[in-house]
Homo-oligomer: A and B are copies of this chain.
Amino acid sequence: MPNDALAYHPPAETDRFAGIDRPTLVADRARAQRNIERMAAKAEASGVRFRPHFKTHNSVEVGEWFREAGVTAITVSSVEHARTFADAGWDNITIAFPLVTRALPTIGDLATQVRLGLLVEGPEGVTALASVESAVDLWVDVDAGYGRSGARWDDAARLAEIAAALVHVPRHRLRGVLTHAGNSYHAPDHAAIRGIWADTAVRLAAARDLLAAATGASGLEISVGDTPGCALMSRLTAVDEVRPGNFVFFDLQQLALGVCSEDDLALAIACPIVGVYPARGEAVIHGGSVQLSLDTAPGPGDVRNFGRLAVVGSDGWRLVPVDDGFVRGISQEHGVLRCSPDILAQLRVGDLALIIPAHACLPANQIRDWLVL
- Known contacts A121-B274, A124-B349, A149-B275; is A362 also within 8 Å of B22 by CB? no
In the bound complex, residues from chain B placing their C-beta under 8 Å from that of A149 are 274-275, 284, 334
Complex Cα distance A272/B97, Å?
A: 12
In the bound complex, residues from chain B placing their C-beta under 8 Å from that of A348 are 124
How far in angstroms is the closest Cβ of chain B from A292? 11
Partner of A350 from B101, B279, B332, B365 at Cβ < 8 Å: B101
In the bound complex, residues from chain B placing their C-beta under 8 Å from that of A280 are 147
For residue A77, CB closer than 8 A to chain B, the reply is yes
For residue A298, CB closer than 8 A to chain B, the reply is no
In the bound complex, residues from chain B placing their C-beta under 8 Å from that of A67 are none
For residue A27, CB closer than 8 A to chain B, the reply is no
Partner of A290 from B99, B103, B147, B365 at Cβ < 8 Å: B365
In the bound complex, do residue B332 and residue A100 qualify as a contact, i.e. CB atoms below 8 Å apart?
no
Complex Cα distance A175/B101, Å?
A: 55
In the bound complex, residues from chain B placing their C-beta under 8 Å from that of A334 are 97, 148-149
Question: In the complex, what residue of chain B is closest to A329 when comparing beta carbons?
Answer: B148
In the bound complex, residues from chain B placing their C-beta under 8 Å from that of A98 are 274-275, 284
Question: In the complex, what residue of chain B is closest to A17 when comparing beta carbons?
Answer: B102
In the bound complex, do residue B361 and residue A332 qualify as a contact, i.e. CB atoms below 8 Å apart?
yes
Q: Which of A261-289 contact B (CB under 8 A)?
A: 272, 274-276, 279-280, 284, 286, 289
In the bound complex, do residue B333 and residue A77 qualify as a contact, i.e. CB atoms below 8 Å apart?
yes
In the bound complex, do residue B148 and residue A100 qualify as a contact, i.e. CB atoms below 8 Å apart?
no
Q: Which of A353-373 contact B (CB under 8 A)?
A: 361-362, 365-366
How far in angstroms is the closest Cβ of chain B from A99? 7
Chain A interface: which size bin? 35 or more
In the bound complex, do residue A124 and residue B331 qualify as a contact, i.e. CB atoms below 8 Å apart?
no
Partner of A97 from B122, B274, B276, B279 at Cβ < 8 Å: B274
For residue A21, CB closer than 8 A to chain B, the reply is yes
In the bound complex, do residue A284 and residue B148 qualify as a contact, i.e. CB atoms below 8 Å apart?
yes
Question: In the complex, what residue of chain B is closest to A276 when comparing beta carbons?
Answer: B122
- Over the window 315-349 of chain A, the binary record of Cβ atoms lying under 8 Å from chain B Cβ atoms (1 yes, 0 no) is 00000000000000101111010000000000011
- Over the window 206-246 of chain A, the binary record of Cβ atoms lying under 8 Å from chain B Cβ atoms (1 yes, 0 no) is 00000000000000000000000000000000000000000
How far in angstroms is the closest Cβ of chain B from A80? 6
How far in angstroms is the closest Cβ of chain B from A281? 12
The 9 closest A-B pairs by CB, nearest first: A294-B294, A98-B274, A21-B103, A101-B350, A21-B102, A124-B349, A149-B284, A77-B333, A121-B275
